[in-house]
Structure 1
Amino acid sequence: MERGNQTGTGNFILLGFTDDPDLQSLLFGLLLSMCLVTVLGNLLIILATISDSHLHKPMYFFLSNLSLVDIGFTSTTIPKALRNIQTQSRVITFAGCISQICFFFVFGCQDNLLLAVMAYDRFVAICHPLHYPAIMNSRLCQIMALGSWLISIPGSFPDTLTILRLSFCTNRKIPHFSCDLPEVLKIACSDTIINNVVLFSVAIILAVFPLTGILLSYSQIFSTILRISSDRGKYKAFSTSGSHLLVVSLFYGTDLGVYFNSVATPPSRMSLMASVMYTMVTPMVNPFIYSLRNLDIKVAMGKVLRKMVPLNESVDARLP
């Protein structure tokens, strides 16, 4: 096979979801709708937590950070997929592919760390409620949020930089809608053992370790909830952490499955759909999950919407 060079001058081809031209318009509308719902929903969460003083609490502070990350996470992949469908071009430059991988890992690692931080917040709130204000003070919350960014940004470098050492064959077709790292490694002509070791090492440090912290936190949370005597108390305690646990299940259930299986297995539609789940669906449904059973969020979001779409004052003036 003819080998490419290592200078990154070549392009890649993103095969996307389908070759059927009849489905392109439907797919474009679906992706655009998902992108708009994701951005607007998470932006609404951020505005609500900032504008409403009742939401100036650690749980909502971390939720607004998670919403910001979800916007970035989705913006890394969907706009390029939309452009490729609209222009009927599947080309992405080497630099664009590297950038996509880098930002994907930044926001993905940030998502992992924020979910772990939020699990710790729920652990303190339920297991140590009397000490919660002292432990989860504003300074600690700011340090934890800033620390997650300071870890995520350099954490994306190993996987991104090790790609620069690879050479690629003339067949640069990626069976994905984005530059998914495991799929990129499969089309490399040079040895990828170092890349795979780095990929698994980063996954263990920045995904498995946070997940372990989440599981330990929830083991203590469930143990505490079971010791609550009243059913009402159990329901209230579980309702404050149920939304977060659902988001964790959606994100990790698809994320880890893709990255621990795709390196050794050929590309499949199942892997592609799992990627859609954690890169598009999960960020889109997060605002709904956190707001459906949270009255404070609902009230705050209602206030923001009323400010964005004010009532006609002239009509109100005529009302008795």
Structure 2
Amino acid sequence: MSFDSHFRSSVLLIIRVDQLIGGGSYNILVVEDTILLAQHYAAVLEAAGMQVEIVSDPMQLLDVLPEFNPDLILMDIYMPGCTGVEASQIIRQHIAYCNLPIVYLSTESALERQLEALRVGGDDFLHKTISDEHLVEAIRIRAKRFRALAMLMNRDGLTGLFNHINLKLLLEREISQTLRRDSPLSFVMLDIDHFKLVNDQYGHPVGDQVIKSLARLLSQRLRSGDIAARYGGEEFAVILPDTPAEAAKTLIDGLRQEFAKVSYVHEDGEFTSTFSAGISTSPPYQEMESLIAAADGALYQAKHNGRNRVDLESNTD
């Protein structure tokens, strides 16, 4: 691909991402120990259509972050117990939040101190004298940019599903919430059967159609709280919160039957495809890697047992 073609493709992708994120509501986390001031910021941002959560004690940040899932943190620098700079350093130690925008809103006017605050974890610095109108616009611009970059980084380019890296971050979060709620979580590994033969016989563009077809089926048929990802190649993964093993098997087996009915057209006629799946459930598994390994083992068993089937791993049979 030439440089011009690559550049045009990149521009079109950025435009499409901008269309997808649109002007939707952004989640803004306000960290400010002066309650009246925090409530003022919240009222201004909410009037502009944003969702706002207030944290008056920065030591509570790590408890709020996974539940609220902010697009941006608006934070004071000088707070008792833990400064905004110290809080930023703590946030940046967690991989899930290493790119989350942190905007300081403070009366600090010394340039050196502002630069130091940015150096250790912040992304921007706004003075508390900023007008409400300019505050809203500054926050909206940064939150929208974060959403766009997150979509480009977290999504698989071919299918639009979450990618491998983001899947693991989401699975860690779901396991943690499952243990807190004492509810079951099922994890599914899916693999398109004989996919290499599809590529070899019909070509990679047709193979891509099969991959996109399964991704579309997962996106359309899974429940709102479920999470689908492209694990790699012809492999997919699905996170099913609050779902015991047998219910997960029923759900995925229904998708398997539906996928097997889809026809793909090529120059020599039509063909259909199938997938195999393996399912593991927490409990008993409480670690991400063991949950993935168990589902992968069940997938291998499904392949070994003839393909085009869904198997539970042995501890959930």
TM-score higher than 0.5: no
More strand by share: 2
TM-score normalised to structure 1 length: 0.24
Q: RCO (CA 8 Å, sep 6+): is it higher in 1 or 2?
A: 1
